Chain A
Amino acid sequence: MMDNVIIGQYIPGSSTIHRMDPRAKLIAVFVYVIIVFLANNWLSYAFLGIFTIGTVLFSRVPLPFILKGLKPILWIILFTMILHLFMTKEGPVLLDFGWTAIHEGGVVQGVFIALRLLFLILLTSLLTLTTTPIDITDGIESLLAPLKRVKFPVHEFALMMSISLRFIPTLLQETEKIMKAQSARGAEFSSGPIKERVKAFVPLLVPLFISAFKRAEDLALAMEARGYRGGEGRTKLRLLKWKGIDTFALIMVGVLIIVLFLLRS
C-alpha cells in the first residue's frame, strides 16, 4: 500500500533547461499556462506544438519519464474527446449512425482540447522534471519578495517549505519503519475487512505523530539556540543567478505570445 513511493519527479541532467534560473522557469510556465488558451485554429496549435515539443526535446529528459507524466491525463483526454465527438454538432456530418452522428466540428474540437491538455501537462511537468523542489522554493521566495512590503511573511513561508522538503524523506523512512514494526505485531494494512484495516491505522498514527511533534520541538529549540531570528540580514547558501539564457527564454515566451495573437482566428 506504500509501494513505489517516489517523492518529486526531478530527473538530474545538465541541459540548458536544467541549468536555467528557477525564477525564469516559473515565470515562463505561469505565462504559458495562460496563453495556451489563445490557440484556436490549426496554425496556432501547430506553432504551440512546435514550441512545446521543441522545449521538451531541448531538456533532454528521457522519453519514458515524460510519458509517465502523461498517463493520468489520458482518461480525461479520452473522456472529453468522446463528449465532443457526440455532442458538438457543427460542420458537415462525417459518420451517420442513425441515432447519432459525428460532425466535423466535434472531431476538430476534440482534437484541439486534447492537444491543449497534452501541451499543458508536457510543459508543466517539464518544470518539476528539470527543477528540484528546493530550487522551486528558492525561486518562489525570490519572486514573492515584493510582498514583504505588505507584511506577508515571505521568509517564514520559504523556511517552512524548505523544512518540509528536508523532512519528507526522514519522516517517510520513519513511517515505513513503524508500519513494518506494527505489521510484525500482526497489523494488517492492505488486506482483511475494512474495519480492521482502519483500526490498524491508529497504532501507526500515534507513534508517528508523537515523534513528529517531538522533532518539531527539537528543531525549534535548535534554531533558537543557534540564534535564528528571521529573514532580516540573513545570507543564503544557494544563490540564484539570472543568466543570459533566462532573459532569452522569457523573450521566447514573449515571441510565442505575439505569434499566437497573430495566428489565432
Chain B
Amino acid sequence: MSVENTIGKARSKWMEGTGPDNDVVISSRLRLARNIEGYPFPHFMSEEEANHVINAVRLAVSEKAGAKFPVETEFIDLNELSQTERQILVEKHLVSPQHIESPANRAVVIAHDESLSIMVNEEDHIRIQCFLPGLQIKEAWRLADKIDDVLEKTLNYSFCEKRGYLTSCPTNVGTGLRASVMLHLPCLVMTKQLGAMVNTISQLGLAVRGYYGEGTEAYGDLFQVSNQVTMGQTEDEIVTNLLTVTRQIVSQERSTRKVVLKNNKPFLEDRIYRAFGVMSYARVMTAQEAIKNISDLRLGVELGILKTPAYDQINELIILTRPAFLIKKAGRPLNAGELDALRAEIIREKLSKITIN
C-alpha cells in the first residue's frame, strides 16, 4: 500500500455504503484542531518553524515514538505529489482545498483504509480527521480521540484551562471539534421542505450547506450538516446534539419518501429510469449533470425501485467522475470538452456492468 494506491483507487472506507441509516446518511466526518506549543500558527510562521512542526508530527506518528494507531498510516509530504495527485486527495475529502493551495511545508498522514487523515500545517498545525460510512459520528469521535491521545504522548499541545485547545481561528477554539454528516435528501428538496428545516437547524447551533455547488444550490441533493459551536460544550455534547438532529432529518426524509412514492410513483420512476438512460448512453456529461444523475440513481435504490447498483458503487461513481480523477486516468491534461467526454465514457462503462431490474 502506497501513496500511488491511495491516489489510484477511488474507494475509501467512508464510501463502503454501509453503516447505520445508510439510506440517507452517506458518511460521518469529525475533525480535531490542535497546535503545538511554542510555535506561531501556520499562517504566521517561518519556513524553518513549519519544518520543525512537520518533523515533530512525522516523529509523533512513527513507531519510533511508540505510536500505536488502531490503523496503519503513511506520512506524505505534499511537495512530493503532482498538482493532479493533490487534487485527488481533495476529491476524496482526505485534505481540504485550502491545504493544497500552497503545498510547500505541508504534509498529510493517511490511514491505509482512508478512515483517518492528519493534515499538517493547514490552518492549524494538526488537524485529525476521521471519516466513516453511514451515521457513525460517535464512532468517529472515539477514533479521533484515540489518535489525539497517541499524538499527545509526544507533542506538547497549546492548551489553556479556560479556553481549551488554542486554534488559529477563534471559531475553532475550545474542543477544536467539528463534526459533520453528509446527507442525501432528494425528497425533502423535491417537496420544498428543506428550507424551513434549515432555519430550525441553524437555531440549534448547526449549519447546513450544499455539498457540491455554490451557495443555496446543492447539486445532487447532497447536504452537509455540522456543528458551529466548539467551546462551552463537551465533545460528547456536541456529538450527541448533531446525532439527535441528524436522526430527526433522517426520519423526515424517510417519511417524505414514503408519501412521495405513494402519490407520485410514475413521476419518480420516470425520473430514475431517465437518469439511468442518460447515464447509459450520453456521450458528453458535465460534472454537475453527472452528480444530478448519480443522485437520481441513488434515489431509485433508496426507494427500492432499483435493486442495483449498490451504495458503494454509487459512491465510487461520484469520486471517479471528479475532474482530477479523470485527468489522472487520462494521464494527460484535458480541456473541458475532453473531460466531459471521458466522464460520460466512464459512467457508461460502469453502468454497462450493472443489470437493473
Partners in one complex: no
**Chain A positions near chain B (C-beta within 8 angstroms):** none
